[in-house]
Amino acid sequence: MQRESTSGDQVFFLNSGRQKFTAVLEHPQAVAGWEDLREGALLKLTGVCEIQWNQRSVPPSPEAFRLLLRTPADVQVIRRAPWWTLARAMRMLGGLLALVLLAAVWVTALRRRVQIQTSLLRKQMEAAGGARGPVAAIAETGKRGSIGRRHRS
């Protein structure tokens, strides 16, 4: 369902099954709630049916029709269109994808920063050379596997 304003008239472009038709409301007053009418809404329309005939066929056959509405009350919303539309879903998916990419860039930057800091700390410890502090002694002892073990002679 689409709706547009033409020469002051409200024209609804609708379909019922495979049949497409229009409904026209001439010079309507401002109607609350019509801004919510969009694709996927289920409407109940009351009006006069104007049939356009195919005069080339014998006997003439109906070619198309349009519904002429009298008042805005002739348009009743049976069911509103779903909030989740393809466009909204695609925007949400795009936003989530952007967040995931941003998080991946952030994690990569943090890893790089940790690698740089680790490299700097190693260089500082190597530059300190023989000066071993208590942290280095504990780390060295831990590498040999003797923390928490008592050696019996």
CA distances (Å), origin 5, targets 13, 23, 64, 123: 11, 12, 21, 74
Q: Are 23 and 14 in contact (CB under 8 A)?
A: yes
Supply the pLDDT for residue 12: 85
Q: 63-103, pLDDT tens digit by residue?
A: 888 889 998 888 888 888 888 888 889 999 999 999 999 99
Q: Are 28 and 35 in contact (CB under 8 A)?
A: no
Supply the pLDDT for residue 149: 55
Which range among 16-30, 104-118, 127-141 has the greatest average pLDDT? 104-118
144 — pLDDT class (breaks 50, 70, 90): low
Q: Are 23 and 69 in contact (CB under 8 A)?
A: yes
Q: 45-55, pLDDT tens digit by residue?
A: 899 988 888 88
Q: Which two tokens stand for residue 61?
A: 């056959």
The mean pLDDT of 25-32, rounded to a whole number, is 75
